Structure 1
Amino acid sequence: MITVLLCVALHFEVAIRVSRKLDYAESRLRKRFLILMFAMFGAHVAEIGLFALGIAVLLQLPGTGAITGSEAVTLFDHLYVSSLSYTTLGYADLSPEGPLRLLTSTEGLLGFMLITWSASLTFLQMQQHWAVGGE
């Protein structure tokens, strides 16, 4: 639950700050959208990292599940499973088992919501651009 709250708060802060920056920016459309895309991409990567940290913490506690498909699960594996969950791609070679599945399924739902939020923000910025006649 803490991971969900942190991710939503992070996404909100990045979205608000980048929106305000773009509203007052006198720069050309290309620069504004590069700022938007890289800021939102960075937010998504950070959110995947937060969930990977949550997975790593849970795996240290007894009875919270495991990641199967690899003999030695590393930090890279935590990031990999987290990114598969966040983007709702699904699991292939590595997959969560036990109670850990609750965290990764929650991550999938939240990831979908936050990716959609980023797409909506991008659309709203484009709509503002179209309303003023473009550049």
Structure 2
Amino acid sequence: MLDSSHLAVVGTTLLVVAACVLLHFEVSSVLSRLMRRTSPSRRRRFLGLMFGLLTAHVAEIWLFGLAAWWLEGTTSGAVAGAPMVNGLDYVYLSAITYTTLGYGDVFPEGPLRFLMGTESLTGFMMITWSASLTFLEMQRHWNDRG
């Protein structure tokens, strides 16, 4: 049976996943358009693409980290292991989850596991999406002069 803590985690997770997917779509669309429209050197185009995608991933990690921080304070979920002192600790937890690096010094317990488990899947998908976009753009632009 789902209690209010579980429902809060599920609802928050759905909102954060939707925000990350929409953010990633918009950033990818803008970057792809810029790759076609701009005429600077190949180096500048690809550095812009890489830094743009990296920025999107960092923003997505922060969204999940802030959600975990908020949920731990408002639900029965917890983070075990090393003490969680401030919001950056939750961003760290989010980063190791998003990148599917895995848990070592900190890990979620209780309903918070749903958020973090879903974040792993979302992160894997967003990273794969970025890799696919990068490959397609490299294939399209690599033979350009400059």
TM-score range, shorter chain: over 0.9
Gaps of 5+ in 2: 1-13
Alignment RMSD (CA, Å): 1.1
Aligned match for 2:68, one of 18, 32, 55: 55
* 2:120 maps to which of 98, 108, 131: 108
Residue type at the aligned position of 2:15: I
1:129 aligns with 2:125: no
Cα contact 1:88–1:111 (8 A) shared by 2? yes
Q: Is the 8 A contact 1:69 1:95 kept in 2?
A: yes
Letter in 2 for 1:48: I
1:72 CA drift (Å): 4.4
* 8 Å contact kept, 1:87–1:112: yes
Q: Which aligned pairs between 1:1-135 and structure 2 lie closer than 5 A? A: 1-63=14-76, 65-130=77-142, 133-135=143-145
**Displacement of 1:48 after TM fit?**
0.2
Give the structure, 1 or 2, with the largest relative contact order (CA under 8 Å, sep 6 or more): 2
Q: Distance in 2 between matches of 1:100 and 1:81?
A: 12
CA deviation vs aligned residue, 1:70-125 (integer Å, no higher than 9, x gap): 34442121011000000000000011111101100100000000000000010011
> Normalising by the residue count of structure 2, what TM-score does the alignment of the two structures yield?
0.87
Partner of 2:11: none
CA apart distance, 1:134: 3.2
String of CA shifts for 1:11-62, please: whole Å, max 9, x gaps.
Answer: 0010000110111111111000000000000000000000011101111113
Cα shift at 1:6: 0.4
TM-score normalised by structure 1 residue count: 0.93
5+ unaligned residues in a row in structure 1: which ranges? none
Q: Which consecutive aligned stretches of 4+ in structure 1 deviate over 4 angstroms post-superposition?
A: none
Question: Does structure 2 conserve the Cα–Cα contact (< 8 Å) formed by 1:67 and 1:73?
Answer: no
